Chain A
Amino acid sequence: MKHPESNRGTIRVTELDPSFKLEVLEHKEAHGLNACFACGTCTAGCPVHEVFPEYSPRKLAKMVKLGMRKDVLSNPYIWYCVTCHNCEQRCPQNVKFFSILNVLKNMAAKKGYAPAPWIEQTRQIMKTGTIFPRNEESDKKREALFLPALKSDGAKAKKLIKLTRIEKIKAQIKS
């Protein structure tokens, strides 16, 4: 797989934002970032990188450290992670890249870069308590197999996660 954007131009120091790294490090899930010495073990073991080389945990970690705020947060590839945990399983410095990436995705979501499918899942949970609610077909199949009827109630989940203001996150508008 290749992507036309894989050749970014020169990085200009004047475009870098040193406060970005500090902002990321404010989240305790991202504390390990300082220990990263960019050895690339994470990228070497990443299954997404293998089929889609533009996605690279090492590169993303470096971009955060350099302060490339917009390049990181608007990067569509940060959402490609398969959450396999290989990066942190193999890191010699015990950096939890999976947790750092979640911090980055949360920041990107606040800026309006979240892909629509994840927003739709949140909406569905608040409505029904589940990502894939019962439907006529599943009800029929379950009844025929004598499986208990499913409930559909998102009231409690909604009450709870609204406390995080997650419902305010808007989906990325595709240009």
Chain B
Amino acid sequence: MKKYALFLGCTTPTQVIQYELSSRWVCQKLGIELVDMDDFVCCGINQLNLNQEAGTLLAAMNLAYAEASGLDVLTLCAACTGHLVESVEKLKNQETKDKVNMKLKTLGLEYKGKARVKHISRVLYEDISTDRIKEKIKVDLSNLHVAPHYGCHSLKPESSFDGLDDPDNPKTFHQLISAAGAIPVQYETLNLCCGGKSFPVSKEVAFCLVQKKLDDLMTQNIDCLAVQCQTCYLMYCDRQKEINKQLKKKYNIPVLLYPQLLGLALGGDPKNELGLDLNTISLNRLLAKVGVNRKI
């Protein structure tokens, strides 16, 4: 059984609890052991805005704690993934590493560069494989049309992901959706950013970006959008409702986090194991379509 230190990030454990719940359930089902780490803190990505060194220090601190316990890191958030893998790259420079270690010493820590960082989707794709996922499917989702949304930081910068996927023409998430038994749908704005990082500073920019994708998705014959990051989830689900209310729009695109979609296929309980009732846009129609007759 492959063992990982679980990096929850800041947003998931308090605002998108269903992502954590379904991820833990799916990992347990597929034989991935997750270890909770008391010492993990914010990954540091947003600190880059104010002070790049602080952003890198927080990443190094987290990585050093994982290293000390001899574990690789499994992330849920795309942005945490991106920042941590980029920091690993940055810290390959001896001078940068020495500078960071001088400061980590105040916490009695040392960063050596041993821990690897993998997003949960990558762990499913590489450690488990789509073939082995397919063998475990219990519920037929073959009539579900699902639009994938990758999340920028799970693909870019390309140099930090050692050939995992092609950011301009990505395929891995499509394959994971297929492995769960559903039909991935290609669409024009596939690679468009969710705008999550501009949201705290300019709601207007963020809402424009969200609407561009939702406008495209409304013309597609899909049952839901699937995401693999809680920020992308919040932008396309909770913000979709906010946009409907504030801008008098009528978007109606259900959004699933990938472990929720896979969890459904693996026969998970929609409420207690996958937290589908916590998704702010109703999934009842989607559940009825796949024959899961449990109202949530």
Name A residues whose Cβ lies closer than 8 Å to a Cβ of B.
1, 29, 47-48, 50-52, 79-86, 88-89, 98, 102-103, 105-106, 109, 114-115, 117-119, 121-122, 125, 129-135, 138, 141-142, 145, 147-148, 150-151, 154, 156-157, 159-161, 163-166, 169
Residue B208 at the chain A interface, CB threshold 8 Å: yes
Name B residues whose Cβ lies closer than 8 Å to a Cβ of A.
10-11, 13-15, 17, 20-21, 24, 36, 38-39, 41-42, 45-54, 57-58, 61, 79, 82, 103-104, 106-107, 152-153, 156-158, 167-168, 192-198, 200-202, 204-206, 208-209, 212, 272, 275, 278
A156 touching B61 in the complex, CB below 8 Å, given contacts A131-B11, A132-B11, A166-B54: yes
Which single member of A105, A132, A160 contacts B58 (CB below 8 Å)?
A: A160
Which single member of A105, A122, A160 contacts B57 (CB below 8 Å)?
A: A160
When distances are taken between beta carbons in the complex, the residues of chain A under 8 Å from B198 are 48, 80-82
Residue from B15, B39, B41, B157 with most neighbouring chain A CB atoms (10 Å): B41
Would you call the interface of chain B mostly helix, strand, loop, or mixed? helix
Q: B21–A147 contact, CB under 8 A?
A: yes
- CA A118 to CA B51, docked complex, whole Å: 11
- CA A96 to CA B82, docked complex, whole Å: 15
When distances are taken between beta carbons in the complex, the residues of chain B under 8 Å from A134 are 13-14
- CA A64 to CA B17, docked complex, whole Å: 43
**Min CB–CB distance A118 → chain B (angstroms):** 5
Q: Which residue of A lies closest to B273 (CB)?
A: A145
- CA A150 to CA B6, docked complex, whole Å: 13
**Min CB–CB distance A9 → chain B (angstroms):** 25
- CA A90 to CA B195, docked complex, whole Å: 19
Q: B13–A80 contact, CB under 8 A?
A: no
- CA A147 to CA B36, docked complex, whole Å: 11
Q: A88–B58 contact, CB under 8 A?
A: no
Which single member of B47, B52, B208 contacts A122 (CB below 8 Å)?
A: B47
Q: B205–A145 contact, CB under 8 A?
A: no
Q: A1–B49 contact, CB under 8 A?
A: no
When distances are taken between beta carbons in the complex, the residues of chain B under 8 Å from A164 are 51, 53-54, 57
- CA A67 to CA B199, docked complex, whole Å: 30
Which single member of B38, B51, B152, B212 contacts A106 (CB below 8 Å)?
A: B51
**Min CB–CB distance B137 → chain A (angstroms):** 24
Q: B13–A84 contact, CB under 8 A?
A: no
Q: Can you spell out 25 A-B residue pairs with CB atoms less than 8 angstroms apart?
A: A1-B208, A47-B192, A80-B198, A82-B197, A83-B79, A83-B153, A84-B193, A85-B82, A85-B156, A86-B156, A88-B157, A89-B168, A103-B52, A105-B50, A117-B201, A121-B46, A121-B47, A122-B47, A132-B11, A135-B14, A147-B24, A156-B39, A160-B57, A161-B47, A164-B54
